[in-house]
Amino acid sequence: MPGKYPKRPRSKGAAWLATFADLCTLLLCFFVLMLSTATQDAKKFKQVAGSMREAFGVQNEVTQPDTPMGTSFIAQDFSPAQTELTIENEVRQTTVQQSPTLGANIEEAKKQLLETKLREIAAEAEKIKKLLKEEIQKGQIMVETVDLTIVIRIQEKGSFPSGSADLQPGFSAVMDKITAAVIEAKGNIQVSGHTDDIPIANVNYRSNWDLSASRAVTVAQQMLENKGVYKGRVVIQGYADTQPLAPNTSAENREKNRRVEVIIVGDDPTLELNQKNIDADTLIDADEIN
């Protein structure tokens, strides 16, 4: 119809282009904002500029030994608030080891106690030797000290018949002297029987173990007939031929090995000091408790 414009054809462009253009604009604004808040580093800027120029071929080669690193606008450090100590109850343990000189003093005290005890044992052994002087001269008895012990060694000669655990009739008086010495001495009493290496097997004794133990029982029983000997002090042992004094290579050595030993075991004076030291280590000083 006259007076009307012809209709223009509708655009065939995609509808999403407008939205995409808005998104690109927003991203550009975002990167500009980040760039404006970031710290500018001249050295890094030159490195980036050099890389760009080199890529487009408009500048000479720019060498930078360090790799450019980005700088974050987020704070990396913080200053903690000042803290105050809280007073709490404390329990402190005091021990003997806290003193550097106390350990040395304890060792010195142990040494002195041990020397005193050894002198006492030696004096006691001399008394027993004087009491048994006649029997020692006859070779029936030997007395010696070994550490904290006094050993009264009864030889088979004059005390027991060969292969028997019965005392000789005249040996009872000697046993009375030994018993008197044992009563006066302090410490436990060990009665030990010993034989040579010649096996014995008869109606009365099945082996040397049996013979050595039987002789020890005989000596102990003889001493226990005296009411002054406390039973709790006595220990009986049989060793057969396992602890010889000399090699069983001759008749003389075998005679030495056939014996009964009455051993007076003295108390170790350092044990009490050790116990006191242990008790002191476990004490807690109440004054240190806040």
Q: State mean pLDDT over 201-208.
A: 88
Q: Which residues contact 205 (CB under 8 A, 6 or more apart)?
A: 163, 165, 211, 214
28 located within any domain: no
- Better pLDDT: 2 or 157: 157
- Asked if pLDDT for residue 73 goes beyond 60, the answer is no
Helices (H), the chain: 16-37, 42-56, 102-131, 133-138, 172-184, 208-224, 251-257, 269-281
211 located within any domain: yes
The domain spanning residue 249 has which CATH number?
A: 3.30.1330.60
pLDDT band at 11 (very low <50, low <70, confident <90, very high): low
Q: In the predicted model, what is the mean pLDDT of the chain? A: 79
Among residues 167, 164, 170, 175, which one has the least CA distance to residue 141? 175
Q: Which residues contact 91 (CB under 8 A, 6 or more apart)?
A: 284, 288, 289
pLDDT band at 248 (very low <50, low <70, confident <90, very high): very high
Lowest mean pLDDT among 57-66, 140-149, 180-189, 233-242: 57-66
53 located within any domain: no
67 located within any domain: no
74 located within any domain: no
- Asked if pLDDT for residue 284 goes beyond 50, the answer is no
65 located within any domain: no
In terms of phi and psi (left: phi > 0; alpha: psi -120 to 50; beta: otherwise), the region of 139 is left
Domain residue limits at 218: 97-272
Q: State mean pLDDT over 185-196.
A: 92
- Better pLDDT: 4 or 241: 241
pTM of the model: 0.58
| pLDDT value, residue 12 | 57
DSSP classification of residue 66: S
Query: Are the C-beta atoms of 153 and 142 separated by less than 8 Å?
Result: yes
14 located within any domain: no
| pLDDT value, residue 286 | 42
287 located within any domain: no
pLDDT tens, 116-156?
Answer: 888 988 999 999 999 899 989 988 899 999 988 999 999 98
The number of distinct structural domains making up the chain is: 1
Query: Are the C-beta atoms of 222 and 172 separated by less than 8 Å?
Result: yes
First to last CA, the chain: 111
